[in-house]
Amino acid sequence: MIAWIPLIVVVAFVGGFAVSAWSPRFGAARDRLALATDGLTAAGILFASRVLVDWTTATVFAWYALVLVLAAATVGAVLRWRTLPPLKDPAKRTSRTWGAGCGLAIVLVLVGVTTL
Amino acid sequence: MNRPTRIRLIAAGAALAVLAGGMLAAPRPPTLSTSATGDTTLAQRLADKAALEPGARDTLATAVIDADGVTYAGLGADETTEFEIGSITKTFTALLLAQAVERGEVTLTDPVGNYLDLGDSAAADITLVELSTHRSGLPRIATTPSALVTSVWSSYRGNDPYPYDLATLQEHARAAGLTDPGTVAYSNLGVALLGQALAAAAGTEYPALLQARVLDPLGMTGTSIATTAHALPAGARTGYTAAGRPAAAWTMGAYAPAGAIRSTVADMARYGQALLSADPALGVDPAAVLTPQGPAGAGPLIGLAWFTQAPDDGTATWHNGGTGGFASMMALDRAANRAVIVLGNTATSVDAVAMQILEENA
């Protein structure tokens, strides 16, 4: 069961981006910052999963399925982009920007560490 | 071009970029080679049994020793292909112990503190036989915080988890607590200490001792031990984790006596034949290492490093091995004068493969 946890985490992040990009209401991105953050996080986590998930011949098809979901989510994100404000609440610009920056920095470190 | 069309084109382009990147970056776990070498019947049996244990496979090689001689087979490898044999190295360290006793350099009951700088720690009083039979009470690996972090990180990365010199190994031993001394608890730390103690008693380094007393006399010219990554020959073979990720070579530094030998099935067959036939080149009667010692009781029967199956499970005397990217198993049926060696270049166990081949040859 423990061996499946990394794969479940990746599915959650990639699936979350798909919901963020395509969902009409529940879980939909509120603004461009959220959409971009979700997309970059999902891509980073998926890339890092190359060495975090047990990809054997039995499970490697899951990689291709996740790539398909990420591609579909990317289409949704591009189509939705124009309809979203840069920030839903400009009063929270600083905190949102910091939050997004820290999140992306963590993903960047993860990608860097896994590609060392 | 109107705006919706342009956006759709951008979306399609982005999706294609993601798909292309996903294909290029896709993990590519190895699959078992279909290129058979040696005896075709044995190679087919090897292929049939490879799926007994889950995990990635790439290449496998085996040798079966019986009254007719040695039969080799391989999948993507042959009898001269090099593999890390991992913990089967411990049986070589045990042989060095038996030889050192025979030469009068040490006794089985000497405290390891006589040969290594272990101060007044609990580890100093552990005897050499306790180290070889895993009855020392030492933990499996060092338990200092930095060693634990290194171990976790290395297992994640598939790297050598023992990049330590002798001084650090001794630090690990001094810091270790003993748990239930006298009961069998497998310890890499313990066998590493044993190998270093034997080298100290002989006034040499462990690799030189191994070469002079085992590899040269047995003519194991395809077998080597490098204790640092720099000492490995360029292009030294590496393997894959059980999940199919590339793994680094293990050289193990001062822990080398517990698992750093690289060998071939041809050389391991030579070793197996020597053990079965009590070849004088071993320098001792192999019964000294193979025959279980100490109280039987619950738990495995164990000689000097060699395990013997409980009577209900079979009659094999065996040792297996595993590194970040390799797995190995050597099993002897001493009564029937048979042995099987299986080596693989993924960390997926080959224990069941070897045991089944041994039993089928009965």
**pLDDT tens-digit readout, B55-87:** 889 999 999 999 889 999 999 999 999 999 999
Does A57 score more than 70 pLDDT?
no
Residue A100, token pair as written in the block: 């997004």
B274 Cβ contact list (under 8 Å, min separation 6): B218, B281, B282, B286
Residue range B175-190, pLDDT digits in tens? 999 999 988 899 999 9
User: Would you say B65 and B355 are in contact if contact means Cβ atoms under 8 Å apart?
Assistant: no
Contacts of A21 in chain B (CB under 8 A): none
Choose among A51, A57, A67: nearest Cβ to B18: A67
Q: Report the candidate in A104, A90, A92, A85 with the shortest Cα–Cα distance to residue A31.
A: A85
Number of residues assigned to chain A: 116
Instruction: Please count the other Cβ atoms lying within 10 Å of the Cβ belonging to residue B216.
Output: 12
Please count the helices (runs of H) and the strands (runs of E) in chain A: 4, 0
Nearest CA-CA distance, residue A26 and chain B, Å: 22
Q: Locate the chain B residue with the closest alpha carbon to A51.
A: B245
Q: B244 touching A, CB under 8 A?
A: yes
Instruction: Write phi, then psi, for A67 (nearest 5 degrees).
Output: -65, -40
Residue B133 CA to residue B136 CA, distance in Å, equals 8
Verdict on whether the full-model pTM lies above 0.90:
no
Of the pLDDT bands very low, low, confident and very high (cuts 50, 70, 90), residue A58 is: low
Put simply, the answer to whether B18 touches A74 (Cβ < 8 Å) is: yes
Contacts of A56 in chain B (CB under 8 A): 29, 54-56, 243-244
Per-residue CA distances from B297 to B180, B197, B247, B301 (Å): 15, 29, 38, 8
Q: Locate the chain B residue with the closest alpha carbon to A115.
A: B157
Residue in this structure with the two tokens 């609440």, named with its chain if needed: A89
Query: Edge-to-edge strand order for the sheet containing B224-225?
Result: B83-84, B261-263, B224-225
Residue B287 CA to residue B276 CA, distance in Å, equals 9
Does B298 score more than 60 pLDDT?
no
Helical H runs in chain B? 3-24, 40-49, 89-103, 128-132, 145-157, 166-175, 188-202, 206-210, 216-218, 265-277, 287-290, 351-360
Put simply, the answer to whether B243 touches A55 (Cβ < 8 Å) is: yes
Specify the fold of B36-360. Answer: Beta-lactamase (3.40.710)
Residue B32: per-residue pLDDT: 94
Residue A116 CA to residue B198 CA, distance in Å, equals 38
Mean pLDDT, residues B192-204:
98
Choose among B19, B27, B54: nearest Cβ to A55: B27
ipTM of this complex > 0.95? no
User: Helix, strand, coil % (nearest 5) of chain B?
Assistant: 45, 15, 45
Choose among A43, A56, A78: nearest Cβ to B56: A56
Residue B236: per-residue pLDDT: 94
Per-residue CA distances from B259 to B116, B203, B212, B325 (Å): 20, 21, 18, 13
Residue A116: per-residue pLDDT: 63
Instruction: Please count the other Cβ atoms lying within 10 Å of the Cβ belonging to residue A65.
Output: 11
Residue B121: per-residue pLDDT: 96
Q: Report the candidate in B321, B304, B307 with the shortest Cα–Cα distance to residue B195.
A: B304
Contacts of A79 in chain B (CB under 8 A): 7-8, 11
Instruction: Write phi, then psi, for A91 (nearest 5 degrees).
Output: -65, -20
Residue B8 CA to residue A109 CA, distance in Å, equals 33
Q: Locate the chain B residue with the closest alpha carbon to A3.
A: B243
- Of the listed ranges A84-93, B33-42, B148-157, B178-187, the least confidently predicted one is B148-157
Residue B120 burial class via C-beta count within 10 angstroms: exposed 0-12, middle 13-18, buried 19 and up: exposed
Q: Locate the chain B residue with the closest alpha carbon to A82.
A: B7
Of the pLDDT bands very low, low, confident and very high (cuts 50, 70, 90), residue B1 is: low
Of the pLDDT bands very low, low, confident and very high (cuts 50, 70, 90), residue B166 is: very high
B205 Cβ contact list (under 8 Å, min separation 6): B199
Of the pLDDT bands very low, low, confident and very high (cuts 50, 70, 90), residue B54 is: confident
Residue range B237-254, pLDDT digits in tens? 999 988 888 899 999 999
